[in-house]
Amino acid sequence: MDYYQESLKLHEEKRGKIEIKSKVPVQTKDDLSLAYTPGVAEPCRAIHKNPSDIYKYTNKGNMVAVVSDGSAVLGLGNIGGAAGMPVMEGKAILFKEFADVDAFPICLSTQDTEEIIATVKAIAPTFGGINLEDISAPRCFEIEERLIKELDIPVFHDDQHGTAIVVLAGLINALKLTNRKFEDIRVVLSGVGAAGVAVTKLLIEYGVNPDHVLLSDSKGAIYKGRDNLNAVKESLADITNTACQLGLDHPDCRIGGLAEIMVGADVFIGVSKAGLVTPEMVKSMAKDPIIFAMANPEPEIMPDLAKEAGAAIVATGRSDFPNQINNVLGFPGIFRGVLDAGIRIIDSKIKITAAEAIANYIQNPTSEAIIPSPLDKGVAKAVADAIKNL
């Protein structure tokens, strides 16, 4: 099937993918008097008296805003909020279909950090949670941090944490299968944007030794004092590749390109660009290496090439290969869980709980099935239940 042309047809035929439905009847005079005036005055008065009653009498507690400025949409780059609308509508229906969370696309006409923060704060009364989507780094870090601080509802940047959670889930099973422990592995991570930063932080949170994490951007290995580091990369250079702080000629300091730093690594995680990894680089890694090549739509290395070069386990972002790292395994159940449990901050405990629930959902993981299928709607329930049982 030509997904692109068929998708275009589907979108035109249906004129987009979401609609608003009434949960109450509006046929009789009584219907109108209960759903609207005069009856509706009473829930208004109740909320005015007791603001938390908004969760009792409106849909707020089940409504998530999918907010995007369209600055980093799929692999399409900065196409703007309006052009990102089909993705945000798509995200909204995944929320509904996978976890019965109502979600609504908010496509922004601004890409200014302060304006985005002010806008989300201004519209927040309608929503029980905020899912930030496809906002480019490094603005996404400040926007998320500020909104978490300044709002009283959960805020979650899916490109960061959704990806990190599903990567961690896959890695839990991949390490199990190759008899490794998180505290022992050496990890190379290529691409230090929204996803890369969050994956790094969550892996360290989960027990990976930060000294054994090597990050690489388009300029090569990241280390303290390197040129072209933004504030976020600088803070990561403080805790990773730390031997370089003792001198660039220290034997444990790793500098140079991706090929140099991949030598001896157990795990490669790519959230970067097509074709960056060669079979030779895979061969230079430790025995039975694990490759998560998640660049979209073309991975850093194709699975067959990686396997031929000795990879024990390969995951990608694609639906046409085994082990698809797909955020839909995370966000619907995470929001279902935090909305139901009234959790305001999605902290690392919740992220780890979600990752473990996804990993444990597979009873007998194999190298071709370290992670559930994105179509398996039982995953969201398992994730939500795990969060609610915290």
Residue 259 binds to a second copy (criterion: CB under 8 A): no
Burial class (CB in 10 A: 0-12, 13-18, 19+), 376: middle
Backbone angles phi, psi at 198, to 5 degrees: -70, -40
**Which of 348, 373 has the CB closer to a second copy?**
373
Residue 22 binds to a second copy (criterion: CB under 8 A): yes
Q: How many residues at the interface with a second copy, by CB under 8 A?
A: 100
Contacts of 342-351 with C-beta under 8 Å, sequence gap 24+, read 343/154, 343/387, 344/152, 344/153, 344/154, 345/148, 345/154, 346/154, 346/155, 346/156, 346/161, 348/201, 348/202, 348/205, 349/390, 350/387, 350/390, 351/161, 351/164, 351/165, 351/168, 351/202, 351/205
Residue 76 binds to a second copy (criterion: CB under 8 A): yes
Question: Of residues 71, 99, 113, 118, which one binds a second copy by CB under 8 A?
Answer: 118
The token pair that represents 45 in the structure block: 């008065």
**Which of 107, 301 has the CB closer to a second copy?**
107
Amino acid at 370: I
Question: Of residues 72, 99, 115, 262, which one binds a second copy by CB under 8 A?
Answer: 115
Supply the minimum distance, in Å, between the C-beta of residue 130 and a second copy.
Answer: 13
**Which of 33, 366 has the CB closer to a second copy?**
33
Residue 6 binds to a second copy (criterion: CB under 8 A): yes
HSE, CB side, 13 Å, CA atoms: give it for residue 286: 15
Q: What stretches of 118-190 adopt beta strand conformation (E)? A: 129-132, 155-157, 187-190
Residues of this chain, 355-374, that bind a second copy according to CB under 8 A: 374
Supply the minimum distance, in Å, between the C-beta of residue 66 and a second copy.
Answer: 10
Torsion sign (Cα): 369, 374, 378, 380: positive
From 9, 36, 181, 349, active-site residue: 36
Residue 207 binds to a second copy (criterion: CB under 8 A): no
Residue 389 binds to a second copy (criterion: CB under 8 A): no
Residue 296 binds to a second copy (criterion: CB under 8 A): yes
Question: Of residues 54, 172, 175, 313, which one binds a second copy by CB under 8 A?
Answer: 54
Residue 107 binds to a second copy (criterion: CB under 8 A): yes
Question: Of residues 72, 99, 108, 189, which one binds a second copy by CB under 8 A?
Answer: 108
Q: Tell me if 253 sits within 8 A of 244, measured CB to CB.
A: yes
**Which of 220, 332 has the CB closer to a second copy?**
332
91 is catalytic: yes
377 is catalytic: no
Question: Of residues 18, 253, 312, 341, which one binds a second copy by CB under 8 A?
Answer: 18
Question: Of residues 113, 121, 273, 274, which one binds a second copy by CB under 8 A?
Answer: 121
Q: What Å distances lie between residue 379 and 4, 106, 358, 359, 374, CA to CA?
A: 28, 26, 6, 10, 8
**Which of 17, 224 has the CB closer to a second copy?**
17
Query: Which residues are the active-site residues?
Result: 36, 91
